[in-house]
Amino acid sequence: MMFWLFFELGSLSLIPCFMYGGSVSVFDGLLSYIYAISMSSSLMLVGVLYSDFFFFFLVGVGVKFCMFPFIGWMYSTFLGAKSMVCWCMSVLMKVVLVSVGCFVCSFYGWILMLCVFLGLLFSGLSFWVNSSKWFIVWCHMTVSSSCLLMYMLWLVGVDAFCLILVYYSFWATGVLVYFSKSFCMFSYMLW
């Protein structure tokens, strides 16, 4: 039960980051985010409390980390959010994968791998069809990285996964610096 509480406190800590902006689209993204985390939270709680309904926990994890059938909320959240929210969603929310993947992969490994494959296929096709803004491209990368990080956790184990997650955090921070307007000259010189 403490695992679920820690998991949800991490999700709720992103809500103040939405208030950094002030436009109407920020509140649309916030509403989409709140709907998604509340739905995933309730599904995960049912799966944690009742062991017979562990499949609900798997569906809740799929919603929270944008696994294949539940990808749409991430795009609407990214389009209505600032870059700090996108960074927190693409980096900080992935830290919890360490604790989730250890026991999800052991029970429903084949379903998880199918969702990873379909998620990568969907984000790859979406990249070529719908990439009109940089935030959408970043969202494609976030969705595909969720799939790949879940697969890597299943494949390599926790120690190597933590090292990959640190590398991923540096990369995402570099992307944030590159796309930010305050470091415009630095980004131009870096390119």
Domain boundaries, the chain: 1-64, 109-191
- State the pLDDT confidence band at 21, using cuts at 50, 70 and 90: low
Query: Residue 189 has what pLDDT?
Result: 54
- State the pLDDT confidence band at 112, using cuts at 50, 70 and 90: confident
Question: pLDDT tens-digit profile of 148-190?
Answer: 887 777 778 778 888 888 888 888 888 777 766 655 555 555 5
- pTM, to two decimals: 0.76
Query: Residue 22 has what pLDDT?
Result: 60
Q: Which of 4-8, 40-44, 120-124 has the lowest mean pLDDT?
A: 4-8
Long-range contacts at 136-141 (CB < 8 A, ≥ 24 apart): 136/75, 136/78, 136/79, 138/78, 138/86, 138/90, 138/175, 138/179, 139/74, 139/75, 139/78, 139/79, 139/86, 141/90
Percent of the chain predicted with pLDDT > 70: 82
